[in-house]
Amino acid sequence: MRTADGGARAAAPPRARGADRGSPMGSERMEMRKRQVCTAQGPAASAPGQHGVGNRGSNACCFCWCCCCSCSCLTVRNQEEQRLRSTSYELRTEDLPTCEESPAPALEEASAWAQSFDKLMLTPAGRNAFREFLRTEFSEENMLFWMACEELKKEANKAVIEEKARIIYEDYVSILSPKEVSLDSRVRETINRSMAEPSPHIFDDAQLQIYTLMHRDSYPRFMNSALYKDLLRSLSEKAVEA
């Protein structure tokens, strides 16, 4: 077909038959087209959210690998170290006797403990009774530390000294230990510097501090405790019966 100015007009594309007339075939095609559009829009609409999640997951993976997983690994490792440390403490505690071997004290000996703290600490029976009292106050580690230092002083073998010094440090001086004793910073620094080459007297200053602490803090309460009074009463009854 030609236009008024003589140009050729492009023929209009033929319309699909049935589309104009609303035939069943046209309806089916329209329905299929709607379904295709909905299907295409579904993933597209959810794509941003999924993409975001994917990004977060990817970033989280990377972040988790760099940080979270590292934290998890550190947590697991710390828990394992804590378990081994606790096991070590339990084994060392089992190695310690619940009390020193000694005969039962006589009434005169037990009465002399009230005269001075030194007399109490000089005898195994006195230390046993005092240690039992400290256990009721949850401060038995003070006596255990003092006793461990006394044992260390008896050693002459360098390798044994180093091993015992390390165990005493880990059990009673380290801030990570549940049995840490109360020491001032000056004494701790001195011990830390000496741990490279420990001697049998490496803990002398610390031992004196703990001895003084027990003397001033725990000893007066022990003298007034039911444990000590019951012991004196029991020894008095035995002395009368004898």
Q: What is the pLDDT of residues 15-63, one digit of tens each?
A: 444 444 444 445 555 565 556 555 545 444 444 444 444 444 444 444 4
Same domain, 75 and 165: no
Q: What does R_g of the chain's alpha carbons equal in angstroms?
A: 43
Note the pLDDT tens digit of each residue in 71-80: 455 555 556 5
Same domain, 121 and 221: yes
Structure tokens at 51: 């993409």
Cut 0.85: pTM above it: no
Same domain, 194 and 161: yes
Note the pLDDT tens digit of each residue in 116-125: 999 999 999 9
DSSP H helices, the chain, are 24-63, 69-95, 107-112, 117-122, 124-136, 140-153, 158-168, 185-194, 204-213, 219-223, 226-241
Q: What is the mean pLDDT of residues 192-199?
A: 97
In a domain, 102, yes or no: no
Query: Minimal CA–CA distance to 134: which of 210, 206, 222?
Result: 222
- Check which CATH number belongs to the domain holding 120 and give it: 1.10.167.10
Same domain, 119 and 187: yes
Q: Which domain holds residue 180?
A: 112-241
Same domain, 237 and 122: yes
